[in-house]
Chains A and B, each alone.
Chain A
Amino acid sequence: MALNIVKRLLAGAALLFVVATIVFVALQLVPGDPARTILTGTGATPTEEAVQALRDQLGLNLPIWQQYANFMGQLFTGSLGESLQNGQPVLDLVAQRLPRTLVLIGFSTVVSVLLGVLIGSTAARFGGWWDRIVLTATSVGIAIPSFVAAVLLVYAFGVQLKWLPSGGFVPFERDPGDFFRGLVLPTAALAIGFTGIIARMTRSAVLGIGNQDWVRTGRAVGLREDTVFRRHVLRNSLSPVLTVTGLQMGAMLGGTVIIERVFNYPGLSGLLIDGVTQRDYPIVQGVVLVIAALFVLLNIAVDIAYGFLDPRGRN
Chain B
Amino acid sequence: MTQLSSLLRQLRRPGAALAAGFLVLLVLIAIFADILAPYEPIAQSADRLAGPSAEHWLGTDQFGRDTLSRLIVGSRVDLLVSFGATAVATILGVVIGLIGGSSRGAVGLLSMRGVEVILAFPPIVFALLIVTLFGPGELTMIATMGVLFAPAFARIVYGEVLTIRNLEYVQASEVIGSRRTRILFRVILPGVVPPVLVQVSLTLASTMLLSAGLSFLGLGVVPPTPSWGSMIGEGQALMLSNPLLLFVSSGIIVATILAFSVLADTIDRGLDPRRAAQVSRTPRARLTPPTTQVIPVNPRKKLEARP
| Residue ranges of A at the interface with B (Cβ–Cβ < 8 Å) | 15-16, 18-19, 22-23, 26-27, 29-31, 127, 135, 138-140, 142-148, 151-152, 154-155, 159, 193, 197, 200-201, 204, 207-208, 244, 247-248, 250-251, 253-255, 257-258, 261-262, 272-273, 275-277, 279, 281, 284, 287-288, 291-292, 295-296, 299, 313
User: Could you tell me if B232 and A147 are in contact, using CB atoms closer than 8 angstroms?
Assistant: yes
Nearest residue in A to B135 (C-beta to C-beta)?
A31
Question: Which residues of the other chain, B, contact A250 by a CB distance below 8 angstroms?
Answer: 122, 296, 298
The chain B residue with its CB closest to the CB of A201 is: B292
Check if B121 sits within 8 Å of A288, measured CB to CB: yes
A31 proximity list for chain B (CB < 8 A): 134
In the complex, A281→B122 CA distance in Å?
18
Is B253 part of the binding interface, using a Cβ–Cβ cutoff of 8 Å? yes
Q: How far is the CB of A291 from chain B (nearest CB, A)?
A: 5
- Nearest A residue to B247 via CB reads A152
Tell me how far the C-beta of B24 lies from the nearest C-beta in chain A, rounded to whole angstroms.
Answer: 18
Q: B72 in the interface, Cβ–Cβ < 8 Å?
A: no
From known contacts A247-B298, A284-B132, infer whether A140 and B258 are also in contact, taking CB-CB under 8 Å: yes
CA distance A31 to B140 in the complex (A): 13
Enumerate B238-268 residues with CB–CB distance to A below 8 Å.
239-240, 243, 246, 250, 253-254, 257-258, 261-262
Contact of B217 among A22, A204, A261, A288 (CB under 8 A): A261
Given contacts A253-B122, A261-B217, A273-B217, 11 further A-B contacts (CB under 8 A): A22-B117, A142-B291, A144-B257, A145-B254, A193-B295, A197-B295, A251-B122, A255-B295, A258-B124, A258-B216, A273-B128
Q: Is the CB of B253 within 8 A of A251?
A: no
| Chain A to chain B contacts (Cβ below 8 Å), 23 pairs | A15-B116, A23-B129, A27-B133, A30-B133, A30-B134, A139-B261, A139-B262, A142-B295, A144-B254, A144-B257, A151-B232, A155-B239, A193-B295, A197-B295, A207-B285, A247-B298, A273-B217, A275-B132, A276-B132, A284-B129, A287-B125, A288-B121, A299-B300
- What are the residues of chain B within 8 A of A248 when measuring CB–CB? 295-296
Chain A to chain B: the 5 pairs with minimum beta-carbon distance, closest first: A254-B122, A143-B258, A254-B124, A251-B296, A143-B257
8 Å CB interface, B261-307 against A: 261-262, 283-289, 291-292, 294-298, 300, 302
- Find out whether the CB atom of B288 lies under 8 angstroms from the CB atom of A272: no
Instruction: Decide if A154 touches B239 in the complex (CB within 8 Å).
Output: yes
Q: How far is the CA of A288 from the CA of B122 in the complex (A)?
A: 9
Indicate whether B49 reaches chain A with its CB closer than 8 angstroms.
no
B residues less than 8 Å from A193 (CB atoms): 295
B296 touches A29 (CB 8 A): no
At the interface, yes or no: B108 with Cβ under 8 Å from chain A? no
Bin the interface of chain B by size.
Answer: 35 or more
Question: Would you call A151 and B239 a contact (CB within 8 A)?
Answer: yes
Given the known interface contacts A19-B117, A295-B122, the answer about A288 and B129 at a Cβ–Cβ threshold of 8 Å is yes
| Chain A facing B: main interface SS | helix
If A135-B283, A200-B291, A296-B120 touch, whether A152 touches B219 (CB-CB below 8 Å) is no
List B contacts of A146 (CB < 8 A). Answer: 295
Q: Is B289 a contact of A29 with CB atoms below 8 Å?
A: no
Contact call A204/B232, Cβ cutoff below 8 A: no
Name the residue on A nearest B293 (C-beta). Answer: A197
Answer yes or no: B236 CB below 8 A from chain A CBs.
Answer: yes
What separation, in Å, do the CA atoms of A295 and B291 have in the docked complex? 22
Q: Shortest beta-carbon distance, B266 to chain A, in Å? A: 12
CB contacts (< 8 Å) of B261 on chain A: these are 139, 142-143
Closest A residue to B205 by CB, please name it. Answer: A143
**Contact (A295, B120) CB under 8 Å given A250-B298, A273-B217:** yes
Where the two chains meet, the residues of B that have a C-beta atom closer than 8 Å to any C-beta of A are: 116-117, 120-126, 128-134, 205, 209, 212-213, 216-217, 219, 232, 235-236, 239-240, 243, 246, 250, 253-254, 257-258, 261-262, 283-289, 291-292, 294-298, 300, 302
Q: B128's contact among A135, A139, A276, by CB below 8 Å, is which?
A: A276
Which B residues lie within 8 Å of A147 (CB)?
Answer: 213, 216, 232
Among residues of A, the one whose C-beta sits closest to the C-beta of B235 is: A151
Q: Is the CB of A145 within 8 A of B257?
A: yes
Known contacts A18-B117, A159-B239, A247-B298, A257 near B134 by CB under 8 Å: no
Question: Contact between A151 and B246 (Cβ–Cβ < 8 Å)?
Answer: yes
How many whole Å from B243's CB to the nearest CB in chain A?
A: 6
Q: Are B219 and A291 in contact (CB under 8 A)?
A: no
Whole-angstrom CA separation of A22 from B130 in the bound complex = 11
- Residues of B within 8 Å of A258, CB to CB, are 124, 213, 216-217
B283 touches A155 (CB 8 A): no
The interface residues of chain B lying within 8 Å CB-to-CB of A197 are 292, 295-296
Cβ of B125 and Cβ of A200 under 8 Å apart? no
A15 to B212, CA, bound (A): 30
User: For A16, what are the chain B residues with a Cβ–Cβ distance below 8 Å?
Assistant: 120
Contact partners of B116 in chain A: CB under 8 A: 15
Q: Which residue of B lies closest to A275 (CB)?
A: B132
By the criterion CB–CB under 8 Å, are A29 and B120 in contact? Answer: no
CB distance from B264 to the nearest CB of A (A): 11
CB distance from A101 to the nearest CB of B (A): 12
Q: Are B284 and A207 in contact (CB under 8 A)?
A: yes
Are A208 and B123 in contact, with the CB atoms below 8 A? no
Q: Quick one: closest A residue to B209, CB to CB?
A: A145
Collect the chain B residues with CB atoms within 8 Å of residue A22's CB.
117
In angstroms, how far is the closest chain B Cβ from the Cβ of A146? 8
B289 touching A272, Cβ below 8 Å: no
Report chain B residues within 8 Å CB of A148: 232, 250, 253-254
Residue on A with the closest CB to B285? Answer: A207
The docked-state distance in angstroms from the alpha carbon of A54 to that of B297 is: 39
- Would you call A247 and B296 a contact (CB within 8 A)? yes
Residue in chain B with minimal CB distance to A166? B239
Contacts of A262 in B (CB 8 A): 236
